[in-house]
Chain A
Amino acid sequence: MSVLKVRGLWAGYTELDILQDVSMQVKAGQIVSIIGPNGAGKSTLLKAVFGMLKPKKGRVVLKNEDITGRQPNKVARKGISYVPQVNNVFPSLTIQENLEMGAFIRTDDFSGRMDEIYSLFPVLKEKRKQKAGQLSGGQRQMVAMGRALMLNPVLLLLDEPSAGLAPLLVSMIFEKIRQINQTGVSIAIVEQNAREALKMSDYGYVLAMGRNVLDGSGESLLNNEEVARLYLGG
């Protein structure tokens, strides 16, 4: 069963469309990577799915519901959470408050969910009274993911979670993503770090110039010579 289906999406910030007829899907329980060179439209694709950008043509379907062009706060209520690449925490709020804001639209008791997130990221529990702006890059990324998970999303959209992190932290973040996925959350991830991303992915899409170039299982893309030459750095 597919959680997310994107069909023939056209979208952009101006008259010029960055996404030109892009299609993809995420099946239940999968990690799906979207890779490609800079300016391929990877981040734009996530933004268009989450409703931060109104598509001009095409459809975005969550489970069986058409959510094309819905406002982000509506999409969040439907079960998608999105972690932007930059500015993804509230710097003057404490870690705990950041998580509370993630659960803003929940009217039920979410303390259990918060405990789950603290057990996924124990360091956050230790520092829960600290302001998010004082944290290191890796810890900020954990806060950002924790905030996004507060709504128990069915699908998590991650925009370059490893950007700007030291190699050791990169593998730690990827390990956390795998753990999140094991709790049943489907994940769509945009990554520059294509090799690492594909290794843990069930499926991958290669975008270039706003169009689909290739797709296939993570393994098949890793072993594809053209992908290796163009996008994995030899």
Chain B
Amino acid sequence: MVELVVYGVVLGSVIALGAIGITLVYGIVRLANFAHGEFMTAGAYLALLVVTVVLPWLGVPDGTFGPLSFGVRMLVAFPLCMGVVAGMAVLIDRLLYRKLRLKNSGPVILAMASLGISFIIRMLILIIWGADYRFYRPGVLRPAMDLPLGIKIRPDQVFIIATVLVLVVLLHLFLQKTRMGKAMRATADNTELALISGIDTEAIVMWTWGIGGGLAAAAGILYGIDVQLHPGMGWNFLIPLFAAAILGGIGNMYGALVGGLVIGIAEQVSTAWLTPTYKLAVAFMIMILILFVRPQGIFGERSR
């Protein structure tokens, strides 16, 4: 049982990274981004491309760090792919969502457009890489470490939790301490007043997409390291991502973090009684329950 909770924390921290992006984009761009899961998939597959094709071609040595299943190649690929997906998210906004915003399109039109983007990215990945499961490093299975209470955890999973922790702390510092981060919170609070104050809200929107896209890529790569890669992986994350964002109060980054952990733990613990196939249903049930009981989320104060 304790073990399931630990696995839940691993899964939950991946969900949290994605959910933070969903909640930031929703709070500032006012868009329910159905393509967010595909940003995860795109990040994971781009990292696969970099790790298995680009870096070997450049002569970057293979190898692994101690007990981890990956080495210097992944360490290069990780930030690089975060950056590429961040750029991709900004570009999609410029080419599509911005044009729809300028036409004063409603939230449904924007959400449907993002659904279209989600199909396009998923199909592109399917065409390029095929439908098979992929691994960053096939055939390597690192033994799990034994912790007290009979918990087994793989070194990769410790790395995942630590990485998520670092990214969340960096985001927290950005939002609380920097001029741009404060302007992001201000824009989420009151877009019209941000404009009145002279804040370039379109620049804020680009920052938001960049951060959301980068975090999604990180989540996708981390999930790929922990489990495997599949063209539908991001799509399967969509319900847990939205469940986590809604649970934490949509627009609230800290809520999304807690929401992600709760959903992750609930999904894993449910496998003690249910077959793992029902994990998604568990996330969905939590989302429905929250929408019935407390639609503003656990940390939500205002109604939108």
Contact = CB atoms under 8 A, between A and B. Distances in A.
Contacts of B200: 73
Contacts of B302: 91
Q: By CB atoms of chain B within 10 A, which of A72, A89, A105 has the most?
A: A72
Given A90-B185, A101-B182, A104-B179, A151 B193 contact: no
Interface of A: 50, 52, 72-73, 76-77, 82, 84, 87-93, 97, 100-102, 104-105, 133, 147, 151
Given A76-B197, A102-B197, A151-B198, A93 B179 contact: no
B49 interface: no
Q: By CB atoms of chain B within 10 A, which of A89, A92, A102 has the most?
A: A92
B193 A88 contact: yes
Contacts, number: 64
A93 B198 contact: no
A104 B199 contact: yes
Given A87-B192, A100-B182, 20 more contacts: A52-B196, A72-B195, A77-B198, A82-B196, A84-B193, A87-B193, A89-B190, A89-B193, A90-B190, A90-B193, A90-B194, A91-B190, A91-B302, A97-B185, A101-B186, A101-B199, A102-B197, A105-B198, A133-B301, A147-B197
A89 B192 CA distance: 10
B189 interface: yes
B114 to A, nearest CB: 26
B115 interface: no
Main secondary structure of the interface of B (DSSP, over half): helix
Contacts of B190: 87, 89-91
B298 interface: no
Given A76-B198, A91-B302, A101 B183 contact: yes
Contacts of A89: 190, 193
B198 A97 contact: no
Contacts of B301: 133
B300 to A, nearest CB: 12
A203 B183 CA distance: 37
A91 B185 CA distance: 10
Contacts of B188: 92
Contacts of B193: 84, 87-90
Contacts of B199: 73, 101, 104-105
A172 B185 CA distance: 31
Nearest to B201: A73
A76 B193 CA distance: 12
Contacts of B192: 52, 84, 87
B186 A90 contact: yes
25 contacts: A50-B196, A52-B196, A72-B196, A77-B198, A82-B196, A84-B193, A84-B196, A88-B193, A89-B190, A91-B189, A91-B190, A92-B188, A92-B189, A93-B185, A93-B186, A97-B186, A100-B182, A101-B183, A101-B186, A101-B194, A102-B197, A104-B179, A105-B197, A105-B199, A133-B301
A90 B302 CA distance: 13
A129 to B, nearest CB: 12
